[in-house]
Amino acid sequence: MVKEELKNSEPIVYQTLLNALKNRKVAHSYLFSGEYNPLKIETAYLLAQSIIEGKDDYACEECRTCKRIRNNEYFDVIFVDGYKNSIKKDDIENILDEFSRTSLESSGKKIYILANINNASAKVLNMILKFMEEPSSENTFGIFITDRKEDLLPTIVSRCQNIPFMTRDFSFLIDRYLEGGFDYIDAYLLSNTLHSYDEGFDLNDPYYLGAKEYVYKTIENLDNKEYLPVMFYREFYTLFKDRDEFKKCVDYYMAIMIKMIEDALEEKKVEDGEYNSYLDIIGRHDPIRLLEIFEKANDRILYNAERKLLFDAVSYEIISYI
């Protein structure tokens, strides 16, 4: 049962939610944060079952109502899976429409669960924020799930009770990518940047491959300060003419670069000599400062900063401070 797994693997989360249920002080908005962990979704369903069941304890998980909730058959609990597809305006409008009506279930409580809320545009996030500020009733509850709390709108975070989950070991995802035919380093990077396994991911995905190539080129040229801005301007910018395609490449670039800098800071070694050689180069170039530069740039992406201007700033900061 989920509550037993939660108790064993996430005891702090287990006790925090149990106390809220016992004391009848369940928050109207929760944020389940921390790196990718499927238990976050299962816990969201468990909390929804417990709220609907209305007892001073976790739900039984076995009754017909609990099973309907878990199978997405309960009319007043809406689950949107932002891991499979981006959360769209239509998804939120559907919640607004359903929750504006009289409850179809006897409990009278309505709950929406948004998994991977990061996978939504700024416009959609603002729709969510407005709904949080003006809920349809006191019996409305929201559960948000994120793998990167730092990328969310601060106003959304501030209106939720944050429930952090422990970082999960992603070695099981590496094995799945290896089974899918990926080289070790690609399996390692995809597991630790996507935090999920996509069985439909193309081995020759141009956005990922282009991003990895220019992460490596950036690291190779940390000492070549005259070439670095030229590389971004004449090469990296021209990889994809379509703005959305370039955006995908940039998002991969940032995720891979930040992961490599973190590995260098931890002095980590993996089963790939070339990758380790790049970590050694990073280690000789003030990795703490590099991490600050790229995390700052990644934060600006959240607010739809122009990506080409963003890389102009990145190259300037590297030239100036590294």
Length of the chain: 322
CA dist., res. 42 & res. 2, Å (int): 7
CA dist., res. 32 & res. 41, Å (int): 9
Pick from 297, 285, 287: nearest CA to 264? 287
Tokens of 119: 């996978």
Q: Distance from CA of residue 174 to its chain's centroid?
A: 18
CA dist., res. 89 & res. 86, Å (int): 10
Contact 183, 53 (CB under 8 A): no
> Which residues partner with 293 through β-bridges?
none
For the chain, 322 residues long, give each residue's pLDDT as a single digit of tens: 899 989 988 888 999 999 999 999 999 999 999 877 778 999 999 999 999 999 899 999 999 999 999 999 999 999 999 887 889 899 999 888 888 888 888 888 999 999 999 888 888 888 888 888 776 668 899 999 998 888 788 888 988 999 998 766 667 788 889 999 999 999 999 988 776 677 788 889 999 999 999 999 999 999 887 898 899 888 998 888 888 888 889 989 999 999 999 999 989 889 899 999 999 999 999 899 999 999 888 877 755 557 777 788 888 888 887 6
The helix or strand, by DSSP H or E, that contains position 110, with its residue range, turns out to be strand 110-115
CA dist., res. 200 & res. 197, Å (int): 9
In this structure, the number of other CB atoms found within 10 A of the CB of residue 141 comes to 21
The whole-number pLDDT of residue 271 equals 87
SS3 255: helix
- Sign of the alpha-carbon torsion through 208, 209, 211, 215: positive
CA dist., res. 82 & res. 144, Å (int): 10
The whole-number pLDDT of residue 44 equals 96
> Which residues partner with 31 through β-bridges?
144, 162
Pick from 172, 215, 179: nearest CA to 195? 172
Tokens 């790196």 label which residue? 35
| Domains of the chain: residue spans and CATH | 2-164 (3.40.50.300), 204-321 (no CATH)
Q: What is the pTM of this model?
A: 0.57
- CA angle, 192 then 197 then 198, to 5°: 125
What letter would DSSP give residue 95? H
What letter would DSSP give residue 237? G
The helix or strand, by DSSP H or E, that contains position 79, with its residue range, turns out to be strand 77-81
What letter would DSSP give residue 150? G
Q: In what order do the strands lie in the sheet with 110-115?
A: 77-81, 110-115, 140-145, 29-33, 161-164
Pick from 150, 122, 124: nearest CA to 296? 150
